[in-house]
Structures are given as structure tokens and as C-alpha cells.
Structure 1
Amino acid sequence: MSRSARRPPSAPVPAPRGLGHVRIIGGRWRGTKLAVPDRPGLRPSGDRVRETLFNWLMPALPGARALDLFAGTGVLGLEALSRGAAQAVLVERDPGLAMALREAVAKLSADAEVHAADALAWLAGCADTFDLVFLDPPFAEGLWERALAALVPRLEADAWIYVESPADRVPTVPAGWILHREGRTRDVRYALYRTPAPQPAATLRPDDPPATTE
């Protein structure tokens, strides 16, 4: 009787490749890890930078409507929601990243919209306005000035805009924007701007004489 051929031992199943994680570091979802696909040039804002940024933003977050324009991992928009923002819109053109964002939003039951679209094209067709915007575009594409100019009509009065860029690059912002805070690491400059508050209409003081006409 012939012996059955011995089967070789099963090769170990390789771990899935192409996935990484980002972690929400504060608020109601603190410590939650979110899976994200690995993409060339994808560069989530580091924990230390985010902690500093959200300390700056703490008074502005409750009830804010936030836009994470070049969302990537979505960690800025989702961190804002975790810390008290009311709603967030996440815009990301990479289909795989957009799918991961939708999965993260579902996992957290977050009040967020995900748009799989080019950021500038989406802005051109957007009619909404926002209290808070995160702008961290792919560094290699040099989109800061174009995106900042396109944002102007989409901002509420007294809005906050976070801009991340290479450490040696200071993007030109629209006239009138006020630099609130900035910092640098070895690789990035991170800065928080504010749009001017609306000016009250001129009124007569009680002791001013009424205007006269001839």
C-alpha cells in the first residue's frame, strides 16, 4: 500500500500590508485608533503638533462646523469632533482614503460628511460656510495659496484656519487674516490664523447732536 504524500506545512499567512493607524489623542474618543491605507506622501499631523493645536483651539471648538479640506487620514477633523465641534466635512480625493474615512466615521458614529473629491473643485461648488478649517495639503503640490484664496467665501466671520506647511515655507494668506499662533518642528511649520471680526456699524453716542440738513 502506498503511503500518502506528506503535505508540506502551511505557510504562515502574511499580515495585511498597506495599512497604518492614527490615534485620536483627546476628547470623547481619546485613544481610539483608526486604520488608514498607506499612501506615498501621506503625512498625518504628529501627536505633539495636534496637542498644541487643539490647546490653542479649545475655546473655539464647542459647536463649531469644521472643514478638513485635504483630509488624508481625517485625524484633524475627527479630533475636532472628539473635542466638541458640532459637525465636520472631510474632503479627500484618494478613493481608498475616502473609503477609510467613511469607515472611521461609521465606527465613531460621528456627525461628519465625507466627500471623495478634489479639494479645489469641491470648494468651487460648495455653498456652505465654516467656523474652522484645517488646511494641510500635499507638500509636493504647492496648493496653499490657491486653496486659501478659494476658502475666503466659505468662511464665517471670525473663523479659524489652521495651515501646515514645510518648516521653511510660510504661505501667503489673504489680506486681513491675523496670525494667532505658530510653531515649528524639524519638518513642518504649523500656524493658526483668524479672519477679522465683523466691525459694528457706526452709531451716534447719546450725547452726539442730531444731524441737521439745510
Structure 2
Amino acid sequence: MTKHRKKQSNTEGSIRIIGGTLRGRKISFPNIQGLRPTGDRIRETLFNWLQPDIGDSRCLDLFSGSGALGFESASRGAAEVVMVESDSHAYMQLKQQAELLKTSVCKLHHQTAQQFISSAQGHFDIVYIDPPFSAQLWASIADSLVLQSLLHAGAKIYLEQPRQMAIDTLPPSWFLLKEKQAGDVIYCLFEYQPGAKS
């Protein structure tokens, strides 16, 4: 009697880098709860926004997940990309991908965003904030970045949020530059202007 094995579910997903020196290279990521790789259309719009700023920039990807934003930044000429991920499985996959892509500018940290912020040094030119939507960490992360003085004047901050969820008040020094919607996701680009008051 022939036994039929059940097909195993695919434990990984993949996306491709869409621009720069690594264009077309595949990024694999684990299928874990809360991990939402930023899609091609949104990434294309975002990096069009960031085109004047990305070259030789210091970037911070606080909820790196699949690595879509961090590796895309490296591909497009960022001088340093700090990628922070708290999930062990996702972190190990990021580490493997960085080795496969030979992206020496990527620096990986296995810790929470708040843990990283509390001990980080220096300033960043571009910051990506795309946490699991259920965690609702946008406002607390934004405040911490300002309090820890991790942003250069004029730094760009990218933020993704669900359309149906209002974000608590962001720092008055964050000025909205761009905002678009794709499906149920709203994505925004802010500029940090220190000393500004509401």
C-alpha cells in the first residue's frame, strides 16, 4: 500500500531587491507572525523619495524583519546600514542573507528596538520604523530616538502604519513630508527638524 506524504508548508518567503548594485538579488525570510516585508510598489515609491539622501548615508532599520529596507538601502549606496531584529529566527536569516549578498555595510543587532536605542551611539540620516502593527510601538520609538539624540538634523524617518489605526502623537520636531496609501497600509516620510515646537 502506497503511503502519501503530506506536503510540507513552505517555511520561507522571498522578495527581490529592486534597485542599485544588488538589483534582482533574492532575499529569503522566515514566515513568522507579524513579519510583513515591504512590497515592491511601496519600496519603489519610498526609495524615489529618498534618492537625494540615500547615498553615503547612515541608516537604521529598527524592525528589520525580512531585511527588505535595510538590504535595499545597502544596494543603493548607503555607507552603513544598522539592522535591528529581536526574533531569533529572523535574525539568523538576516545574518545568512548578509553573508550571501556580501553586504559589508550591514551591521546586525539581535535585540529589541528599545534595547538598541538605549545604548546606541552616533547619529543616523535615515531611520525605518515598521514594527509589527499589533505592538503599536510607533510613538514610543519616535520619542526615544529624539531623547537619545540619534537623529541628524534633517534626518528622514520612514513609518508604516495600518490605515485603520491612529498613531499617538509624534514628536513636534518630526515634519511630515510625504504620505501615501497602499491597500490597508499608510506609509509616511518625516523630516527631523530639531528645535521645532508645536
Shared topology, TM-score over 0.5? yes
**Residue 170 of structure 1: how far off its partner (Å):** 4.5
Q: Distance in 2 between matches of 1:82 and 1:15?
A: 33
Verify: 1:165 aligned to 2:161, yes or no. yes
> Where does residue 116 of structure 1 map in the other structure?
110
* CA shift in 2, pair 1:186/1:17, >3 Å: closer
**Residue 121 of structure 1: how far off its partner (Å):** 1.4
How many aligned residue pairs are there? 192
CA contact (8 A) 2:27 2:67 kept: no
Q: Which runs of 5+ in 2 are unaligned?
A: none
- For residue 179 of structure 1, give the secondary structure of its aligned residue in structure 2: strand
- For residue 113 of structure 1, give the secondary structure of its aligned residue in structure 2: strand
Give the alignment's TM-score, normalised by structure 1: 0.83
CA contact (8 A) 1:61 1:85 kept: yes
Verify: 1:31 aligned to 2:31, yes or no. no
> Where does residue 130 of structure 2 map in the other structure?
136
Q: Distance in 2 between matches of 1:125 and 1:65?
A: 17
**Residue 168 of structure 1: how far off its partner (Å):** 2.9
- For residue 81 of structure 2, give the secondary structure of its aligned residue in structure 1: strand
CA contact (8 A) 2:173 2:195 kept: no
Q: Distance in 2 between matches of 1:70 and 1:81?
A: 16
Q: How does 1:1-214 map to 2 (within 5 A)?
A: 17-110=10-103, 111-152=105-146, 153-171=149-167, 172-196=169-193
Higher relative CO (Cα under 8 Å, sequence separation at least 6) belongs to 2
**Residue 21 of structure 1: how far off its partner (Å):** 0.7
Runs of 4+ in 1 over 6 A off after TM superposition: 8-13
Instruction: Report the structure number with the largest CA radius of gyration.
Output: 1
- For residue 59 of structure 1, give the secondary structure of its aligned residue in structure 2: helix
> Where does residue 206 of structure 1 map in the other structure?
none
* CA shift in 2, pair 1:13/1:141, >3 Å: closer
State the Cα deviation string for residues 145-201 of structure 1 (Å, max 9, x = none): 0001111111111100000000133433211221110101221110000011789xx
CA contact (8 A) 2:124 2:151 kept: yes
Give the alignment's TM-score, normalised by structure 2: 0.90
CA contact (8 A) 1:168 1:189 kept: no
- For residue 91 of structure 2, give the secondary structure of its aligned residue in structure 1: helix
State the Cα deviation string for residues 26-60 of structure 1 (Å, max 9, x = none): 11111111111110121111110110000000000
